[in-house]
Amino acid sequence: MTIATAEALPDLNPHSGLSQVWTERYTGALMNTFGPPKRVFVRGEGAQLWDADGNRYLDLFAGIAVNALGHAHPLVVQAVTAQLTTLGHVGNFFATAPQIALAERLIGLVGARDARVYFCNSGTEANEAAFKISRLTGRTRIVATEGGFHGRTMGALALTGKSALRAPFEPLPGEVTFVPFGDTAALEAAIDEETAAFIVEPIQGERGVEPAPPGYLTAARRITERHGALLILDEVQTGIARTGTWFRYQAEAREHGGWQPDVISLAKGLGGGLPIGASIALGRAAELFTPGSHGTTFGGNPVACAAGLAVLYGIERDDLLGNVQTIGARLHDGILALDNPALAGVRGAGLLLAVELREAVAPALAEAALNAGFIVNPVTPQAIRLAPPLILTAAQADEFLAVLPRLLDQLTPGSD
């Protein structure tokens, strides 16, 4: 693959030809929930995308950490195609083989025989299910973290620690107390015998890829267990090998006695591009849902579950856990090695990283990157989020590292 250099950055024009036509049709037909699209894509392959005008991009965002195996991966294509030729949907009065097999695989990856799985369609729905499971304990108080993000439906939004997102839709489902993320003392003070659950992300993705401090999740397990509260881990963004282990919490839990949470929320990378979510409940939490207490029409759809099985198989077959660790370290260390004055550091784990900036120029940097053919995300004003497909190669990582200095220099006052 040809590596782009600082002297030869492309200047892509997304507002000519077919892209412009499709953008106008988009704004005339869809609600304005996301603003005008930055690009109109028509094809993908691996970690690459092409827009309607034929411009090529390196995808370092994977549809918000969704496309675990990249675009048009043969395993996913074959699994979905084969499933559609036999059975597309039956509804949850009945079962299908992919649904059962995927649940069994997830339980095996968690490593707990007393676990059970509830399938849904997104991370928000997975957290809604976890919220309802907590209510079935007979308690109603929830503790969540400031800066956390758990979804946009009313229940998941109530757990989200961003007042700007919550305020337009209040009043929301109640009795949610927010504590500073990573503050064990504050958590200790907030949880008592009336607390139903504590919900937390091992890495706060939407806050700017902020990892929990070492030992924080273990302390949360100890505190919740002492008070009889559930520990809900939102692994929607960090799960399914994104950080170099199947689930992020496992990296810490294995060093502290092998503890387990009560509920794990999953989505994003699980379907490799198809909409699927899952709530994995363990121990007593696994028995709280009973017939009629919750449900969804499309949850456990055999096509989505077939895709999920293909994703898990591909991760294992191609040792993508190892690739995530290797390429994640290559990106992390390569960015730090640039020693650019605009950079403040790198945080995160595996292939969920944030490029920290000294100034609030992340939107401008993301726009410059897009114009140069690289898709990144300005997750906060001072941080760029990288969440590429797990199949990202060393050459593709180096392609981005070669261009990043020029992108940063474009933001420096007085630069050419």
Per-residue pLDDT reduced to its tens digit, 75-96: 999 999 999 999 999 999 999 9
Residue 41: beta bridge partners?
A: 51
Residues 5, 400: Cα–Cα separation, whole Å: 9
The Cα 183–Cα 298 span in angstroms is 38
pLDDT score at 1: 30
> What are the tokens at 16?
């000519």
Mean pLDDT of the region 337-354: 97
Question: Angle at the Cα of 287 (from 281 to 290), degrees rounded to 5?
Answer: 110
Phi-psi region of 292 (alpha: psi -120 to 50; beta: other; left: phi over 0): left
Residue type, 301: N
Helix (H) or strand (E) holding 313: helix 302-317
Sequential DSSP letters for 338-401: T--TTEEEEEEETTEEEEEESSS-HHHHHHHHHHTTEE-EEEETTEEEE---TT--HHHHHHHH
Residue pLDDT, tens place only, 312-323: 999 999 999 999
Integer CA distances (angstroms), 88 to 79, 121, 270, in order: 12, 15, 18
- Residue 7 has a pLDDT of 46
Burial 77-86 (b: 16+ CB within 10 A, else e): eebbeebeee
How far apart CA 379 and CA 348 sit, in angstroms, is 13
The confidence score (pLDDT) of residue 256 equals 95
* Helices and strands (H and E) in the chain: how many: 14, 17
Q: Please state, in angstroms and as integers, the Cα–Cα distance from residue 94 to each residue in 90, 120, 133, 290, 344, following that order.
A: 7, 15, 23, 16, 53
Please state the separation of Cα 27 from the chain's center in Å: 27
- Rounded Cα distance between 362 and 343, Å, is 11
Q: What is the pLDDT of residue 174?
A: 87
Distance, CA of 243 to CA of 76 (rounded, Å): 21
> Given this model, what pLDDT does residue 15 score?
55
pLDDT for the residue 9: 58
Q: How far is the CA of 339 from the CAs of 202, 272, 332, 346, in angstroms? A: 28, 35, 12, 12
Rounded to whole angstroms, the Cα distance separating 166 from 253 reads: 32
pLDDT at 255 (0 to 100): 94
Q: Which residues are annotated as a binding site for N(2)-acetyl-L-ornithine?
A: 152, 296
* Residues of each annotated binding site: 123-124, 149, 152, 234-237, 296-297
360's tokens? 């609030």
Mean pLDDT score across all residues of the chain: 95
CB 353 within 8 A of CB 332: yes
Per-residue pLDDT tens over the stretch 35-64: 999 999 999 999 999 999 999 999 999 999
Burial class (CB in 10 A: 0-12, 13-18, 19+), 409: middle
Tokens of 207: 């806050």
Peptide bond into 171 cis (omega under 30): yes
Percent pLDDT > 70 in the chain is 95
Position 4 pLDDT exceeds 50? no
Give the rounded percent of residues in the chain with a pLDDT score beyond 90: 93
Question: Which residues line the annotated binding site for pyridoxal 5'-phosphate?
Answer: 123-124, 149, 234-237, 297
Mean pLDDT of 225-231: 98
The CA-to-CA distance between both ends of the chain, in Å, stands at 28
Please give the average per-residue pLDDT across 229-242, as a whole number.
98
Would you give the DSSP letter of residue 410?
T
CA nearest 325: which of 355, 351, 301, 348?
A: 351
Report CA torsion sign: 299, 271, 124, 280: positive
Backbone angles phi, psi at 204, to 5 degrees: -80, 100
